Homo-oligomer: A and B are copies of this chain.
């Protein structure tokens, strides 16, 4: 089945909750590395991609639409124009693999949704995207389930640790260093990040000597 992926992306000053361990320039490069991993999985699963960017941005392997309105309005503007099934997927899911996206898009239901931690939504696959409207932020998983019901959609909730794992806080970086295999891991390791295990708790540390590499 042909489908198209929408990936919201913020090129400038993204992931501010990681400011404690990454400079703005590094956060921007890290966001691009995560986007590399997401786009690679999307393309490998046979899908094409459009980035919904908050400011000018260029990529050779995806279409780019620069939209100034807030996230939900930008997504809903895009969905209204779809004549084929659509996947909305967040740009900060560095563990996602093509096979995971295949689990989503091979659903027998009208819609498949991947919950993120803390009530969020990390991906939605819609066979009839024009009927739907996005409502990210807050307990968006519950909101999207309600909107699906209003649309009369049958829904598949996809149970995936890898796709539920987004990157917001320092402790999230642990997951990349343990389970990641792509550009995001390479980028963090290049900055000198490694695992730190103290009193049975796992966190990340950054080697000061490698910052200049």
Contact = CB atoms under 8 A, between A and B. Distances in A.
Contacts of A164: 161, 164
A118 interface: yes
Chain A: interface size category:
20 to 34
Interface in A128-172: 137-139, 141-142, 159-165, 171
A201 B118 contact: yes
Interface stretch (A8-16, A80-88, A173-181, A182-190): A173-181
Nearest to A177: B119
B161 A119 contact: no
A178 B139 contact: yes
A202 interface: yes
A162 B158 CA distance: 10
Contact of A202 (B118, B161, B197): B118
A195 interface: yes
A174 B119 contact: yes
Contact of A118 (B159, B163, B174): B174
Interface of A: 100, 114-115, 117-120, 137-139, 141-142, 159-165, 171, 174-175, 178-179, 195, 197, 200-202
23 contacts: A100-B159, A115-B161, A115-B179, A117-B117, A117-B175, A118-B174, A118-B175, A118-B201, A118-B202, A119-B174, A119-B178, A119-B195, A119-B197, A137-B200, A138-B200, A138-B202, A139-B178, A139-B202, A142-B178, A159-B160, A159-B161, A160-B161, A164-B164
